[in-house]
Structure 1
Amino acid sequence: MPAAAAAVAAGLATGPGSRVTRFAKSTAASVTPVRPGKTHTLSPLDNAMERHTAHVVLYCRAAPGLDREQLKESLSEVLSLYPAMTGRLTRREGGEGAPADAEPAQRGWVVKCNDAGVRMVDARAAATLDEWLATATGDEEMDLLYYEPMGPEPYIWSPFYVQLTEFADKSYALGLSCTHIHNDPTAAALFFQAWAAAHRRTTSTYPPFLHAPAFEVSPASPPPPPPLLAEKSSAASPASADAAAMSSATFHFPEPAVRALLSSLEPGTTPFAALAALFWLRITGGAAGGERELTLALDFRKRMYAPLPWGYYGSVVHFTRARADLASGLPAVAAALDAHVAGVPEEDLWRAVEWLHARQQQQEAGAAGPFQMYGPELTCVALDHVPMYGAEFEAGAPPARVSCHVGGAAGEGLVIVLPAAEGGEARDVVVTLPAEAMARVCRDGEVLRHGAQVVFGTKAGKEA
């Protein structure tokens, strides 16, 4: 093998015993060139996510119009709607990309829309889709995603990676990985809607909305820090060894199981609050915990007075801290979470945006660095309202499953509540915890008693 090919193969390698083989890397370019000099400014919320990545896997069953070359063709077509995806990150600090007297709101990371393209990886899995869903672990699922961290030269680094994995039955896993600076999990998931529409040669239900001027704040004076963000910014980051010890599993709750769970709680309890409370209690051993706090990550697109379209390209994640007495039991804890979510004022989001903007200016002056937003404390993400299953690459054939992960969430753990394929009140819950705690939760009697089916568990959990 030539030296260059060997280097590429080494970079694409999966772990020992993996059923996924990556065999090629290429670049997907837009079919429509971007006008010279076009840039895309990132908001303070975007810039705050420098430590994190977003990863979405879409599982599609075999269909006559679903093959590797057709998927690549439609990807190039849809990238014409997303010029920022094919661009490269650069700093606007008076050098390349902006004058020295640039307005503060224009500083930080900015995207040069230069048509450099999106990195693509081709792969095959030695299993049918059904075999994979029945036997794969959460860690194996990460083999369906490919990502390279930003190096010392961001202007040549691709912020987006797409992996096309073909199963033995001609089904596909479409894996999208990107820096959270560009997109939050909602935006990453809904990109598939536009891709699927391009594949069917129709118009997307959620076209990209690329600019929100309201986020370009410039406060007259530095605002006081929101307590939660102040605490996060001063917290020590988990060691890299701790980050490597994290493990993931997905729990599927069929609609009858969620309905049974809700029937045991206070009337009006939402599925999100019920499942967030259940996992909070089981992860922390909450019966003896007393009053505790849980960080919630809420998508604020539709919670704003002037709501943003679903297709907004960027981050609109607001972090807020809920409090409950864990010794009071599941019904009371779920009710406390629902009450907190319903009562988060929009003003809290704007205070966070203003403070992050002011801190961004300090960061550029060397006075502050990026910090961990998801964690290190236990964090629960509400995504079960996001219409993830409308990405039909073949009309009438929704995805068999959609999975979502957030990188850089080391610490106590991350719980993501998602919609499930069958719709209604069914939910999937993707849990990332330290490996030992993850194995314990996969075997937890209370979680299983409430109807959870472990889809992507740990090896220990599956053996149990």
Structure 2
Amino acid sequence: MVSSEEQNSIYDIKISTVSAGLISGNNAVQELTAMDLAMKLHYIRFVYYFKSPTFDGLTILKIKETMFSWLNHAYIPCGRLRRDESGRAFIKCNDGGVRIIEAKCRLSLDEWLGSKNDSRHKHLAPNQVLGPDLAFSPLVLIQLTDFKCGGKSVGMSWSHVLGDAISAVGFINLWAQVIAGHYPAQPLTKVQQQNRAFDFQNPNPSPDPLSTKRVGPVGDFWSTSNHTKMEAFSFYMSPTELTRLQEQICGEKGDEQIPVFECICVVIWQCLAKVRDGSGQEVVTLCQNDLKTRQKGNITNESQTIIVVKTCISVGKHTPSELRSLLTNKSNNERLKIEESMGRDDALPDFLIYGANLTFVDLSDASFYEMEVRGNKPVYVNCFIDNIADEGVVLVLPAPKGCSDGRMVSMTLPENQVAELKLVLEEDWCIA
């Protein structure tokens, strides 16, 4: 839980809205793909932390002036949701704007980051969801928090219906580029639905994909409640630790090396199975992005793979090397199944994907630390995915500035499993 000191340290909150300085969307309509709508209940939140003098001398008025220019090149996230005659949601590019929250913190940046409680970050990123008034709900919210030392955090809430985490990072990084006077040749664009042939008349349709959990229907309030209280925590893994884990997992096969992401998946999967006595751990979901196939300037949910890995026996009976083989050789990409399920019913189903199974998300290559404001990069970036199902989510993130080429591992799991998981990680893998 968040300490009372942290909870009461945020004050002087002000709310406003900023949109493009020019009429930019021309009231156009942006259709949403099946994958967009499949991800609609999830929200990506992250917080960038900057030390002084990054924002020194930049008043809120000057900051908003840079945002006017920024949003001229990013008008789709400024839109609002509407429904067509069939009830399917789409984005009306009406320059409705981005919600801005200004706040102050009684603590210094070092005091804030010195806390070991990951839940504190949630106070610096807006936690709103879409609805129940969809037509008036901003798709993006940004919180600017001033610390007493002169540091500042930039927190953002990004509706996953717009695009994945890579899209969200590209959006906020564009603002930093505009602050520096660098403008893109074209505005951010959204990938359209690819035409695929699905047999929607099949009298025996396939069951829902293993990677999804059907909920709702949620109507115009795009949120769900967890049956279990969740807790967030994170830890850093150095290159030396990762190399050691890779050697332990590969065992005698010294000439083979498991990729870093899959290495972390093996460790967490096995440890959580031990904590949960193997219950419900036969299936996990891996979410990854192929950055080579993405076009610069796109916001999209179309580039993320949703891979399901399944074992027919208890995870505890597998060696780490066997789990590694499952992850690397026996995977099933369910993207097409999800798209088919979204189009099968007359009324679109409401799904949760993150946390439907224990879900691993590879954000190792996300350019969090490439955001540069007036020559300064963030000293730390926290990222989490909100509105997830009860099995939990594990994010594999790039290491903070100055921590070489390791990884940050950020988890959101049932609260009653966190303490025992930490103990198993330390006892079985020497991860503190």
Q: Identify the TM-score tier after normalising by the shorter chain.
A: 0.7 to 0.9
**CA-CA distance at 1:22 after TM superposition:** 4.9
1:301–1:310 CA contact under 8 A, matched in 2: no
1:88–1:112 CA contact under 8 A, matched in 2: yes
Q: Which residue identity lines up with residue 299 of structure 2 in the other structure?
A: Y
**CA-CA distance at 1:295 after TM superposition:** 2.6
Q: Counterpart of 2:342?
A: 356
1:75 maps to 2:94: no
Is the deviation greater in 245-254 or in 319-328? 319-328
Q: Which residue identity lines up with residue 34 of structure 1 in the other structure?
A: S
1:27 maps to 2:17: yes
Q: Are residues 369 and 357 of structure 1, via their aligned partners in 2, closer, same or farther at CA, if it must alter by over 3 Å? A: closer
Deviations 1:238-281 (Å, cap 9, x if unpaired)? 983625x1111111112222223223232321111111121112
Structure 2, unpaired ranges of 5+: 218-222, 251-255
Q: Counterpart of 1:264?
A: 248
Structure 1 segment 7-406 matched on structure 2, within 5 A: 17-66=7-56, 67-69=58-60, 70-93=62-85, 108-203=88-183, 209-215=188-194, 217=196, 219=198, 221-222=200-201, 229=209, 232-234=212-214, 240=225, 242-243=227-228, 245-266=229-250, 267-285=256-274, 289=278, 292-302=281-291, 307-309=293-295, 311-316=297-302, 317-324=304-311, 325-340=315-330, 344=332, 348-359=334-345, 362-363=346-347, 369-395=349-375, 397-406=376-385
Is the deviation greater in 441-450 or in 413-422? 441-450
The alignment partner of 1:240 has SS state of: coil
Q: Which residue identity lines up with residue 408 of structure 1 in the other structure?
A: N
Q: Counterpart of 1:436?
A: 416
Deviations 1:380-438 (Å, cap 9, x if unpaired)? 1111122222111133x322122211111131211111111247641111101111212
Distance across 1 between alignment mates of 2:289 and 2:20: 30
The alignment partner of 2:76 has SS state of: coil
1:409 maps to 2:388: yes
Distance across 2 between alignment mates of 1:290 and 1:26: 47
Distance across 2 between alignment mates of 1:63 and 1:72: 18
Q: Are residues 301 and 257 of structure 1, via their aligned partners in 2, closer, same or farther at CA, if it must alter by over 3 Å? A: closer
RMSD: 3.2
Q: Which residue identity lines up with residue 400 of structure 1 in the other structure?
A: V
Q: Are residues 318 and 288 of structure 1, via their aligned partners in 2, closer, same or farther at CA, if it must alter by over 3 Å? A: same
The alignment partner of 2:309 has SS state of: strand
Distance across 2 between alignment mates of 1:382 and 1:451: 20
Is the deviation greater in 400-409 or in 320-329? 320-329
Q: Are residues 301 and 113 of structure 1, via their aligned partners in 2, closer, same or farther at CA, if it must alter by over 3 Å? A: farther
Q: Which residue identity lines up with residue 272 of structure 1 in the other structure?
A: F
Distance across 1 between alignment mates of 2:59 and 2:272: 41
**CA-CA distance at 1:315 after TM superposition:** 1.6
Distance across 1 between alignment mates of 2:42 and 2:280: 29
**CA-CA distance at 1:210 after TM superposition:** 1.5
2:211–2:357 CA contact under 8 A, matched in 1: no
Distance across 1 between alignment mates of 2:268 and 2:278: 14
**CA-CA distance at 1:117 after TM superposition:** 0.9
Distance across 2 between alignment mates of 1:109 and 1:227: 24
Q: Which residue identity lines up with residue 319 of structure 1 in the other structure?
A: I
2:288–2:306 CA contact under 8 A, matched in 1: no
Distance across 1 between alignment mates of 2:351 and 2:95: 30
1:254–1:451 CA contact under 8 A, matched in 2: no
1:294–1:380 CA contact under 8 A, matched in 2: no
2:103–2:143 CA contact under 8 A, matched in 1: yes
The alignment partner of 2:22 has SS state of: coil
Q: Are residues 258 and 369 of structure 1, via their aligned partners in 2, closer, same or farther at CA, if it must alter by over 3 Å? A: same
Structure 1 segment 447-462 matched on structure 2, within 5 A: 450-452=430-432
The alignment partner of 1:213 has SS state of: coil
**CA-CA distance at 1:123 after TM superposition:** 1.2
Structure 1, unpaired ranges of 5+: 1-13, 95-106, 453-464
Q: Which residue identity lines up with residue 317 of structure 2 in the other structure?
A: A
2:214–2:352 CA contact under 8 A, matched in 1: no
Q: Which residue identity lines up with residue 75 of structure 1 in the other structure?
A: M
**CA-CA distance at 1:328 after TM superposition:** 2.6
2:213–2:356 CA contact under 8 A, matched in 1: no
Q: Which residue identity lines up with residue 126 of structure 1 in the other structure?
A: R
The alignment partner of 1:112 has SS state of: strand
**CA-CA distance at 1:126 after TM superposition:** 2.3
Distance across 2 between alignment mates of 1:215 and 1:423: 41
Q: Which residue identity lines up with residue 343 of structure 2 in the other structure?
A: H
**CA-CA distance at 1:168 after TM superposition:** 2.1
Q: Are residues 163 and 332 of structure 1, via their aligned partners in 2, closer, same or farther at CA, if it must alter by over 3 Å? A: same
- The count of corresponding residues between Structure 1 and Structure 2 is 411
2:55–2:152 CA contact under 8 A, matched in 1: no
The alignment partner of 2:284 has SS state of: strand
Q: Counterpart of 1:419?
A: 398
